[in-house]
Structure 1
């Protein structure tokens, strides 16, 4: 019974939050509603027994959306005064959303302990169920059958990361080198010079 109730709760809130993602005019609000949609989708994955996909949704997608939220705040011309003014007005809505997310977490844990939902009746030729979790089964397959491909993908990502660091810290010949130690030892009175140019004379660099 708790599984069915949790399924309808997660599904309804996922659809509702997806609608608000489209209808919200404020990009920050759209990103927040998208995070709510990801959390509800992760709850649906937990109900069907796909814990690994649920963890990917929360860790990867919600983490990436948080970074996207920072880029939106930095790059768009957002009036922070209006956002602070609407904080008190939207505070009850934020508390309500927090309570709903807490209730979803409680129902999700209860539904997970009760067992996954059977999406279809088991056929006579179906494989016997594996008496282990979804994450443990994926780990056994990755580190046994696909070990070489998994390690190769890790080496490629490591080489790409090292290449990005090398390209960032390379010395450019067409620019003046930066002496950090000299900048730190510079006195405040030597940092700026008060010039009194004549009218129409300009400055001598």
Structure 2
């Protein structure tokens, strides 16, 4: 076994351990950190496969942006995990069935990819070949329709997120920025003319019934 094979088994073992801890960790922050570790191991495996662009994209996009945002949201919201676990065993059969279906679909796709077949478009090889350029050509020729479908799904998700954000909440006060810009001084301050007041006249001290002077 050479060094490359040993590194592959090492990265794969750490990747499996991190992925297992993602779904078994009780703390969502720890689960997110284990997911970051899994992303790093996957990028290292892609480096071994000479897919530098995919490895760097995984680190920059998922580790540098998505997971940092996820950690920020989780730590800011302070989610009550105990309340989320109350219906775990109630929905476990449905979740297990969906997971088994996804596993079977992935196995069917992977087994079909392992078959020896001639590629529809041969990949160029050589020291002067850029794998990023070849990946772009492959995406926009053989996988153009799946790429467009994925782009439409992401667009729908963005529109849905914006629509959920713009909902009017009943527990918060909303101020229209355009009304603040168009406001004028006379709308804010009103001067009222009032009659001039006179100073109060001093009142003589009342004498109590006992005849003593009030102090």
Pick the TM interval, shorter chain. Answer: 0.3 to 0.5
| Bigger relative CO (Cα 8 Å, ≥ 6 apart) | 1
Structure 2 length-normalised TM:
0.44
Higher helix content, 1 or 2: 1
Structure 1 length-normalised TM:
0.46
